[in-house]
Chains A and B, each alone.
Chain A
Amino acid sequence: MLAAARALTTPLLPDDYIELMNPMWTTRELRGEIVDIRPETEDTSTIVIRPSAKWLGHWPGQYLRIGVEIDGRRHWRAYSLTSDPNHPDGLISVTVKHVPEGKLSPYFTRKAEIGTMVFLGGVEGEFRLPYPRPEKLLFISAGSGITPVWAMLRDLAESGALGDAKHVHCCTGPDDFIFGETLRALCEGTDGYDLSEHHSKDESDHFTTDHLEQLVPDWRERETFLSGPPAMIDAFKEHWEEEGDPDRLHLERFQPVIGGEGAKAVGEGGTVRFRVTEVEGECDGKTPILECGENAGAKLPFGCRMGICHTCVGKLEHGQVRDLRTGEVHGEGGQMIRTCVNAPEGHVEIAL
């Protein structure tokens, strides 16, 4: 049936015509309607969304790419899912903190209205709880970095798997603590969950690894989940590398860096041929295809350079690629791949 319809609509898809009737009927891309906007703190709101198709679930801690059209341009950002993966009505939510100079966060916190349509990208992210659940846990969060941690804590609490969990949250003051009330109540009523708040207005009294030594002396024995600003993550990562077991430290960066100096090579790398612009480049296992093409002189499209916006996509014509964020090798002919987060695995040809 579908094949027959395609024969008639080629090179377009039946969907292209169905969409003419109602944009929410399209099946090729997931869209969503904002059904509620809940203020959490002064500058943070939870956006509740009804997806246009059945929600297939996610792991607590994972994030969703959300696209919004502003003045004709579609922008994408990643937001950690703060909803229950098994929400009875199939709703999902993200919790957004206002970034004053930002493009999208002010849209969500100030402009968006109930009924607004947004685009939903894939669920992604390696920041999630391992199975079986670790006995001893440590969560360190700062500011809006609480969102994925909140999702994990709620999941643990609901399944009675908190075990022995310590949580340190950093923010500017008691009122600035997103989900603070709920978490404080959880701490009151649950033996296994111990919450400490660290309030600091500026850099001089930020939470440091010294504070950690005092507050959680047994941090080395804990599976740790850390989500906060770049400087904090870098400092703690170094501490774990020097004095702990870096494999037991799980990180979520809201402003990630892909490839580059600090990255360790996961694959062999390979060669890339850009078919449209006739450029050929060579990549080691930690250099994204985008960078490799630019180094070889190709003018390639890009946006965020961290796998969020899909501006850099090109059609994979030949070969396979390795996702630099997960290490996974993937790709089949004709697939659209993001050049900014994939390195070639052997020889690759791309229609860019």
Chain B
Amino acid sequence: MTGAPADMENPLHRLTDEQIDEIGKEFQAIHDEVYEDLGERDAVYIRSIIQFHRRLAALSRVVLMASRYKPAWVLGTAGLSTAKIIENMEIGHNVMHGQWDWMNDPYIHSSTWDWDTASPASAWKHSHNYVHHTFTNVVGKDHDVGYEIMRVDPSQKWYPHYLLQPFYNVLLMAFFEWGVAVHDLDFEAIRTGKKPKSQVKDELKEIGRKARRQIVKDYIAFPALSGPKGWKATLAANFTANIVRNVWSNAIIFCGHFPDQAYTFTEEEGADDRPGAWYVRQLIGAANIDGGPFFHFMSGNLSFQVEHHLYPDLPSSRYQEIAPRVKDICERYGLPYNTGPFRRQWGSVQRTLVRLAFPGGKPRKKAPPYEAPAPAVEGNGGAPDGNGRATTERVLASFP
């Protein structure tokens, strides 16, 4: 399936064995230090976000009972969309990664959490936490490279059905949660018999059960509460909220690995199991999105996709703090630190999806080694860094 030769420009091939070892140790040291430091303030953070989500969701549902009045519809739909986004991204994805397992709270735990989306927790944990995060961007092993239906990297073999990719891409955006649910079944594993039939059966049953509950909730129970005059408006509101959440999460997730800057890897490259090599693959296989605190929050801090991939088990709220230390490693070892504004990252993903619908295609130019911005000149309040991202303090200070 891979066929394509390794990209010799890939920094993996430039680093010496000693450097790879040192990089592994340095990244691990950051992990251990932050993990050791987790405590009260982190626990307070996730609990308040969970509480905020539940209040917002409950409030939006109540407002939507009056959805046949336009302002209530708009307000309720906006609230519910926001609640669903927070629940899926900053809470669900991260809790199910085990980022909060250290608290040993049985109700904020990867083993018990379920989220407000079509995909059942256990299948998702396998395909995302395990397959995608272990074999990140290894073409042929990471099924998130194009989700088995899209060609997002020129080294993927072209088939005629990819011609339709720009069209079903739009469908996937709108119905992303269902795409993910089906994708998690892992057709590759079913085809090759790696997944026992009993498990496939359980998972299908689980998807059915989950889908039924989700549909009953959003399209029957809550509309019913709005009464005979309001049910249609509430149904439309819930449908809209689900679509908004789907489009947004699809956009953020696609920006995580498919922008031009991110590297993909051959199976040989992916087989290098030295910790340092794994860290470098995570680093250069992911891409961040610049933005302010609100943007990072609404993207579940997946705008720090690089940090998330280096440390999938550290709480998302710590990624922003870790970022400067990651950049520092990048600078010292001449490694790229992929990031860019949302418009650029998303635009390059969409262009790739259109271009690679057709045969051929060449890898795009990758980001150069990271360089720290010139130190701030005294008096100007600190310049934004080389990638256009102002420091956290500056962003926070800019809030009213």
Contact = CB atoms under 8 A, between A and B. Distances in A.
Nearest to A8: B221
Contacts of B130: 276-278
Interface stretch (B14-22, B37-45, B262-270, B331-339): B37-45
Given A7-B221, A278-B126, A303-B104, A72 B42 contact: yes
A29 B54 contact: no
A317 B122 contact: yes
B198 A318 contact: yes
Interface string A1-40: 0001001101110001100100000001100000000000
Interface stretch (B107-115, B158-166, B376-384): B107-115
A120 B55 CA distance: 27
Contacts of B105: 74
Interface range for B: 35 or more
A7 B104 contact: no
B202 A10 contact: no
Nearest to B222: A8
Contact of B199 (A4, A20, A277, A349): A349
Contacts of A17: 54, 58
A314 interface: yes
Interface range for A: 35 or more
B178 interface: no
Which of A12, A69, A72, A351 has the most chain B CB atoms inside 10 A of its CB?
A: A72
A28 B107 CA distance: 10
Interface string A270-298: 00010111100000000000000000000
A325 interface: no
Interface stretch (B146-154, B209-217, B304-312): B209-217
A261 B41 CA distance: 42
A26 to B, nearest CB: 9
Interface string B194-230: 1010110010000000100110110001100100000
A81 interface: no
B32 to A, nearest CB: 16
A318 B200 CA distance: 12
B104 A309 contact: yes
A336 interface: yes
Which of A16, A75, A76 has the most chain B CB atoms inside 10 A of its CB?
A: A16
A7 B39 CA distance: 35
A74 B104 contact: yes
Contact of B104 (A311, A317, A318, A349): A311
Contacts of A303: 104
Contact of A16 (B54, B104, B214, B216): B54
Interface of A: 4, 7-8, 10-12, 16-17, 20, 28-29, 67, 69, 71-76, 273, 275-278, 301, 303, 309-311, 313-315, 317-318, 336, 349, 351-352
19 contacts: A4-B221, A8-B222, A10-B213, A11-B114, A11-B115, A72-B38, A72-B102, A73-B43, A76-B104, A273-B196, A275-B122, A277-B130, A311-B104, A314-B111, A336-B111, A336-B112, A351-B122, A351-B125, A352-B111
Given A72-B39, A73-B104, A276-B126, 10 more contacts: A12-B116, A20-B54, A20-B55, A72-B42, A74-B105, A275-B126, A303-B104, A310-B106, A314-B111, A349-B198
